[in-house]
Amino acid sequence: MKRMEGLVTQLLLNSHITGAYPSSLLDNAVPNGIEFQFLHLQAQKIVINLNYISTTHTFTELPDSRPVELATIVQETPPSSPMRTAMIKVLQLQQLIQLEPASLSDREGATELLRIGKHLRNLGLTEDAAAINTCATAIYRALMQENSAAYMPYVFWGLMNFARLHYGTQMGLDAVESAYRLQKDMTPASRRESSSQLAWSMCHYADHLLVNGHCEDSVEHAKNALAIQRNVSEQHSEYDSLVVWEASGQEHAVLSSTCLVVRTFNMAVQEGLCLCAFAQSLAAVGRYSEAFVVGTEIISCFTALAQYDPRSAVFPRWVRAGLANRSRWVSIIRPPSQRRSFSLTSDEENLGALDSAEHL
């Protein structure tokens, strides 16, 4: 049985390398079919190997491992099939763990390990994704005891992965809170008002608080996240290509004293994320007038971001979704009595033009 499994693994990797993709095996995979069962089995083997590493605290070759040559582990761009992408990534990671477990402690190995859950989740294998992520986080927690600065980002990443996998649950909230507290503790007090990473983690914490019903706490954290991010953004306005939009003019609501907001692309994206969290939390507690002010600036921010090519790799998916669903934002920030009858503002009408295929 093990020999047969090894032959199948080698076949899939070789077909990926040579380009001779057997479509019947992966590209036309049926839910709960043999392809999913095989992928699930390989994910379980990764969990077993990671548990061994975590328990023994060693990064040596695993016992009884007979992997194929490391040369078969390639870093090519994966094909578009979700099953093929996940299968190849899982098999490559499995070989990496068996042949070079020490690589998990470097940046490249950690990145491969912490990203694998996304591919499994996309196929509905959420439990496998969570199991691998839990083991990975445990390993980096242990390494963090020896070098906190080097391994804290990987623990943070693992906690955020877990929070996404359990979004809307208490477990997800606990994980994102741990990530936020970890980031805060690792950020020197003198830099807490100028840390984009702290603002980002606080923003996600606010989002999880909101979906778990802690609306007032969500407002406070979303407001603080936006304040920190705006402070960070203003320090980066001299670099990169600039994104410009008009502020709402309500300083108490959007925490800005300028009429014209000038940001780098990355800072504009981060600021847009914080604005979204703040608007939704304000609306959730019935502060619709403030939510509408912030929502107006969201539309302005998204419109400015849309001047860049949204099909490029740097254009966040959530921004693209926001551009496509402007009516949803209007619905969120309006009082319930006004959600069915309202006239579009000029900003909302302008945003409507961005729904075309040319932009999306």
For residue range 23-35, list pLDDT tens digits in order. Answer: 446 666 667 777 7
**Bridge partners of 200?**
none
Answer for the pair 294, 327: CB distance below 8 angstroms, yes or no. Answer: no
* Per-residue confidence (pLDDT) for residue 359, from 0 to 100: 27
Beta bridge partners of residue 261, listed in sequence order: 245
Q: Is the pLDDT of residue 268 over 80?
A: yes
40: amino acid identity, one letter:
H
Decide which of 170 and 244 is more confident.
170
pLDDT classification of 212: cutoffs 50, 70, 90: very high
pLDDT, averaged across the chain: 76
Judge contact between 306 and 359, C-beta under 8 A. yes
In angstroms, rounded to a whole number, what is the distance separating the alpha carbons of residues 23 and 9?
15
pTM, rounded to two decimals: 0.77
Q: Which SS3 state, helix, strand or coil, does residue 243 take? A: strand
Name the most confidently modeled range: 37-46, 130-139, 297-306: 130-139
pLDDT reported for residue 343: 39
The pLDDT, as a whole number, for residue 15 is: 55
